């Protein structure tokens, strides 16, 4: 039995959830998100709550039960509060600048790296060494943060590169003479 799936998703004030067939549409102050549910689960919207139930007792159906409930919860939280990831840039001369729908990154390469920002995600640079990514879709915000981090991941000797703000880099000792 899924412990996550047993609990309903409570719909907060200002958020509407509509169901048309297998598709759930969640609207809020930060946008609109859609989810196509699988045939293994049954969703219903009742009394300000979204209930997810497994159709059968198969392994796949039980797995999709908790997963679908978590996805719906992420959508509801995303359109009401939003998601945010902060990246820190460490290293001499490494910096970022957001201009409209793109970010220009100086990462120590012979050229500047221009990263296009996808739709539904907002990127700000409060300081040249910090990138703030916000949006309603948790998966998209996390994927943009991961793609930016992969451009120059942190190295273990001096800690240079792009890292998540809450991430701790395990440092290695350098060569000794």
Residues 3-80: name the CATH superfamily. Ribosomal protein L6 (3.90.930.12)
SS3 of residue 65 by DSSP: helix
Number of neighbours of residue 125 by Cβ within 10 angstroms:
19
Looking at residue 2, what is its pLDDT? 65
Tokens of 137: 């879709």
Looking at residue 177, what is its pLDDT? 79
Q: Which CATH architecture has domain 83-164?
A: Alpha-Beta Complex (3.90)
Looking at residue 69, what is its pLDDT? 94
For residues 74 and 82, give the distance between their C-alpha atoms in angstroms, rounded to a whole number: 9
Angle at CA 26, nearest 5°, toward 66 and 10?
A: 55
pLDDT per residue as tens digits for the range 41-73: 999 999 999 999 999 989 999 999 999 999 999
pLDDT per residue as tens digits for the range 155-169: 999 989 999 999 999
| Domains 3-80 and 83-164 are alike in CATH topology | yes
Looking at residue 29, what is its pLDDT? 94
Looking at residue 127, what is its pLDDT? 96
What's the mean pLDDT when you consider all of the chain? 93
Where do the structural domains in the chain lie, given as residue ranges?
3-80, 83-164
Strands in 64-173 per DSSP E:
83-90, 95-99, 102-106, 113-116, 121-124, 130-135, 161-164
Average of per-residue pLDDT across 105-128: 95
Number of neighbours of residue 99 by Cβ within 10 angstroms:
11
For residues 86 and 96, give the distance between their C-alpha atoms in angstroms, rounded to a whole number: 13
Looking at residue 5, what is its pLDDT? 83
Distances (CA, A) of 47 to 3, 11, 16, 54: 21, 9, 12, 20
């Amino acid at each position: 039995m899924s412990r996550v799936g047993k609990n309903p998703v409570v719909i907060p004030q200002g958020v509407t959830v509509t169901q048309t067939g297998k598709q759930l549409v969640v609207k809020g102050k930060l946008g609109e998100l859609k989810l196509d549910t699988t045939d293994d689960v049954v969703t219903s919207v009742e009394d300000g709550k979204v209930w997810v139930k497994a159709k059968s007792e198969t392994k796949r159906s039980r797995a999709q039960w908790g997963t679908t409930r978590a996805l719906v919860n992420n959508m509801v939280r995303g359109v009401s509060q939003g998601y945010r990831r902060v990246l820190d840039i460490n290293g001499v001369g490494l910096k970022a600048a957001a201009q409209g729908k793109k970010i220009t990154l100086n990462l120590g390469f012979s050229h500047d790296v221009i990263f296009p920002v996808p739709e539904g995600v907002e990127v700000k640079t409060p300081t040249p060494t910090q990138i703030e990514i916000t949006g309603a879709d948790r998966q998209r915000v996390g994927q943009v943060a991961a793609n930016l981090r992969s451009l120059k991941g942190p190295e273990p000797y001096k800690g240079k590169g792009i890292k998540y703000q809450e991430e701790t880099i395990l440092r290695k000792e350098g060569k000794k003479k």
